[in-house]
Amino acid sequence: MATSTKSDACPLHPDAALIEDSSAGDQICSDCGLVVGHRVVDRGSEWRTFNNEESSTERSRVGAPEKPYRSGSDLTTIIGPSPSGPSKFKIGGPKYRNRKSLTSTNRTLEDGFLQIASMADKMNLPSCIVDRANVLFKRVQDGKHLRGHSSDGIIAACLNIACRQEGVPRGFKEICAVSMVSKVESSRCYNYVRKVLKISVDSTTSGDFMARFGSNLELPYKVQRVATDIAEQAVKMDIVSGRSPISVAAAAIYMASQASEDKRSAKQIEEITGVAIGTIRQAFRLMYPQAAQLFPKDFEFATTIDKLPRL
């Protein structure tokens, strides 16, 4: 039981606090025990409490969270015909009938939500990014900004923006790898969505990708930290102007790993980052002449700079 903050009050003790019995749905006066209200709806979330000492579980009420990007916040109910009804209702099954009942606008939204979920699943993205991408796609749809533009490109752009807003940016190549659009189309739709929705997104840096790439390459944290310092210093010294943050990150990882005991080849880095070996080579050659200034002063070299392999 918990103390209620309802506006109801006991007629005998109006100032007394009410106790809410969620299991029975009653509101009880704490002074006299009078049941002031009954059949009270429990608006708390549902969960199960598992007890290791008992085989049974305690259940709270059911109820799915609201989804603002769906019509009716996803709290609507579709009632279909009885299975024992006329045979014409059985054709196509319930999912087919429900889909036929959708308007063209809602059908476009549902298709977009399914595609976003599929792309996010391939990229192992959390549900918070999926929800944010769905909200963005609905905003584009509600504003009638889809006309004249590729639906697949808009969907890819929404997912790209959602990743950046959540602080886990993905490169255009990574987005294109799980979508059906080219890099040029993805970039064009990305800029278009940002413009029509008036979204300001912070520009990405090499450091935004370093932790994920380093983890996938199984690099120790100290090597990841050195690679981040190399990339940041290269940008400050204007050595890699015109190069994308992902390319700079890949080259910095190659340089840092080759100078440490945990070496990674350009081929391994290409497989994880998606940056071609030729692109890594170009960025590395720009950085190598200034390598002595890029490495932290306290870095312990396993391989000295003059003996680093040239790409």
Residue 204 lies in a domain: no
Closest CA to 302 of 220, 244, 233, 237: 220
> What pLDDT score was predicted for residue 6?
45
Question: pLDDT-based confidence at 37, cuts 50/70/90?
Answer: confident
> What pLDDT score was predicted for residue 83?
54
> What pLDDT score was predicted for residue 65?
55
* Same-domain status, 26 and 88: no
> What pLDDT score was predicted for residue 203?
86
Q: Collapse the DSSP code of 7 into the 3-class scheme (helix H, G, I; strand E, B; otherwise coil) and give the result.
A: coil
Is 79 a residue whose pLDDT tops 90? no
> What pLDDT score was predicted for residue 2?
47
* Same-domain status, 97 and 57: no
Domain boundary pick from 196, 225, 242: 196
81 vs 97: CA distance, rounded Å: 10
What residues make up the domain containing 80? Answer: 72-101
The residue-averaged pLDDT of 76-103 equals 53
% of the chain with per-residue pLDDT over 90: 54
CATH number for 48: 2.20.25
Q: What are the structure tokens assigned to 77, written together?
A: 């109910």
The residue-averaged pLDDT of 129-154 equals 91
Q: What are the structure tokens assigned to 286, written together?
A: 């720009």
Residue 203 lies in a domain: no
* Same-domain status, 171 and 108: yes
Please write the tens of the pLDDT for every residue from 221-271. 999 999 999 999 999 999 999 999 999 999 999 999 999 999 999 999 999
Please write the tens of the pLDDT for every residue from 16-28. 888 776 666 677 7
Contacts of range 127-131, beta carbons closer than 8 Å, 24 or more positions apart: 128/166, 129/159, 129/162, 129/163, 129/166, 129/168, 130/162, 131/67, 131/69
* Same-domain status, 5 and 80: no
Total domains in the chain come to 4
Kindly report which listed range (35-39, 135-139, 291-295) carries the lowest average pLDDT score: 35-39
